[in-house]
Structure formats: C-alpha cells, structure tokens
Amino acid sequence: MKVFITRKIPQKGIESLRAAGFDITYRTDPGNISQTDLIQKCQQVDCLLAAGHNLLDKNFFEACPHLKAIALMSAGYDSVDLDEATKHGIPVSNITDVLSNATADIAFLLLLSVSRKAFYMHKKILNDEWKDFELTENLGIELNGKTLGIFGLGRIGLELAKKAKYAYNMDIIYYNRHPNEIAKRILDAEYVNYDELLTRSDVLSVHANLSLETKEKFNKEAFKRMKNTAIFINTARGGLHQEQDLYEALTTGEIWGAGLDVTNPEPMSFQNPLLNLPNVAVLPHIGSATEQARDNMALMAANNLIAFSNQVKMPQILNLEVYQK
C-alpha cells in the first residue's frame, strides 16, 4: 500500500508503517501543505496520514477518487467532512487517549499562569520593568476550593478535572451531551446545564470538538453570563470562542482572565491586543507537544492504517458507518 504523510512526524510512526510493508511518500518541508499539493499527492496513493490541519472536504474527496483510507494524527477532526468520506467509502480515524494527559497539563498550566498573571509578569522582566517589591499591584487569585466548569467532559476534560480536584480540591461541574459516570464516581462531578456552567464556574475550561453546534459558543452573550471573577481556558479549538468578544469581555471586566492554547485564527498575530493584557496567557497550540504524546500519536495513526491494510476495522474509526456500506 502507498501512503502519503503530510509533514514530519516522529520516526516511530514511519518505522511502524515501513515494517508493515507500506510504500511511504513523506513530505519533510516545514509548515502545512498547500491544498493543491495535497490533492496531487493523494491522487497517487492509497492512504493518507494527515498530520496538521488539512482541509479534507467535498472538493478533496472528489479530486482523489483512488484514496482508500485516512488516518489523522490529531484528536480534532473539524477539518474533515466525515459524511463525504463515508460517501466515498473512505474510513477516517483520529487519535484518542494518548494526548489527553499532555493537553490537560497545558490547560492546567494556563489556569495557574492566568491566575497569577505569570506570563505578563515574566514579560515585565524582559522589558526591564522589574522595579520595586509591590505589595498591592498585580495580585492574582487563588484556586483552592473554587469551582472548575468543564465544557465537553471527554478524556482531556476528565484529566484536567482530576488535576484540579487533587491539587486544589476544586469542585467539578460539567456540561456534556451525556452524564459521565466515572467523573461522578471518582470526582463527585456534577452534571449541569449550559447556563449553570456559565454562571457557576470560577474557571471554565473548554474541551469539545469544533462543530456547527459548538462554533463560537463562547461569545458576548456567554461571557456576560459568566462571573466577573471567572477565568476562561481554551485548549480545544480557537473556533469555539469569539476572539473579539473575548477581548471585550476581558477589558470591560465581564470576566477576569483567559488562557488560550488555541486561537482564531492561528497563528495569532504578535500584535493581537490580547497579548498585552495582564490576565491573559497565550500558547501556540502545544497541547500535545510532549515526546511521549507525539510518539504515541504517530504510532496510533500508523496502527490505524496497518489495521486498514489488514482489512480489519480501524481501532480509532470516526465514521463507523463506512463499514456498513
């Protein structure tokens, strides 16, 4: 089987595909591949290992009639039209579990950094603005015993909830499509509606997929419903929040702070005014950027393609209905 890999991935993934007999075309240029090049490459292979955020839409599927399987090296699949993939008989898999801990760590890091204005204070040192020992300036807030609200309690949200519970004895509330029995049992987490999530959370962390249903869910109206002492954290997808509304909510005091590992658009401009606010911490989408997570992500993506080549169901299949066709 021929596979095209869209960008540099950990060697373990390549070795695993090679050992399984795949004929690999591997793009090593930095940055995301152009749509034209992606289509051109995918017209010559059986499988695609998509690392990064490539638009796999109707146009893509129609242009690549010989493509047979796609493995995403990401948990998010918002850039893929799964209905089109199914229509073309193409199974698509993603990554689960192996990046949950790393991503929850980044959410936790942002939560702490925002609550103590750490990024802003660090910038002051770099700008030679470390002057006197101030007793009443730039004070942060403490997290102990506060309420953490999770929007989308999947594996990443659960990992963050555990950290917050064990480190700061935070109360956990969450909004999800379904109640999560594990969260109830181990963390006494409370299942609440969306409005309760907004109004009760001291920290509100977003862990949902980006979809038509969740797009810009965190907008002017949502920020208005939140506590003016609340911290908003997004490590999922920038499209889940409305960035101008977020800026206004922060500068008018509707909410207290924000920590973002994802922005809208990405990359964020270095001149974005959010970067100058004291209670804001921004990272460049590094949720899964640990050696362990990335190695395991590459291996998992490879395993899905190997399963496909062995005519076995891809373990992390997203469009299960493709097998019923």
Give the residues lining the site for ligand DGY (CB under 6 A): 74-76, 95, 99, 287-288
**Closer of 48 and 250 to ligand DGY (Cβ):** 48
**Closer of 146 and 207 to ligand DGY (Cβ):** 207
Helix (H, G, I), strand (E, B) or coil at 317: strand
Active-site residue, selected from the candidate residues 237, 241, 243, 294: 237
Q: Mark whether 207 is an active-site residue.
A: no
Q: Mark whether 294 is an active-site residue.
A: no
Is residue 267 reached through a cis peptide bond, with omega within 30 degrees of 0 on the bond before it?
yes
* Closest approach of ligand DGY to the CB of residue 260, in Å: 13
Instruction: Give me the sign of the Cα torsion angle 238, 141, 275, 286.
Output: negative
Residue environment code for 189-228, b if the CB has 16+ CB neighbours within 10 A, otherwise e: bbbbeeeebbebbbbbbbbbbbeeebeebbbeebbeebbe
Active-site residue, selected from the candidate residues 53, 88, 285, 294: 285
* Closest approach of ligand DGY to the CB of residue 284, in Å: 11
**Closer of 50 and 114 to ligand DGY (Cβ):** 50
- Ordered DSSP codes for 87-138: HTT--EE---STTHHHHHHHHHHHHHHHHTTHHHHHHHHHTT---S--SSSS
Q: Mark whether 266 is an active-site residue.
A: yes
* Closest approach of ligand DGY to the CB of residue 121, in Å: 28
Residues 107, 227: contact at Cβ < 8 Å? no
**Closer of 192 and 293 to ligand DGY (Cβ):** 293
Active-site residue, selected from the candidate residues 62, 248, 266, 321: 266
* Closest approach of ligand DGY to the CB of residue 151, in Å: 16
Q: Which active-site residues does the annotation give? A: 237, 266, 285
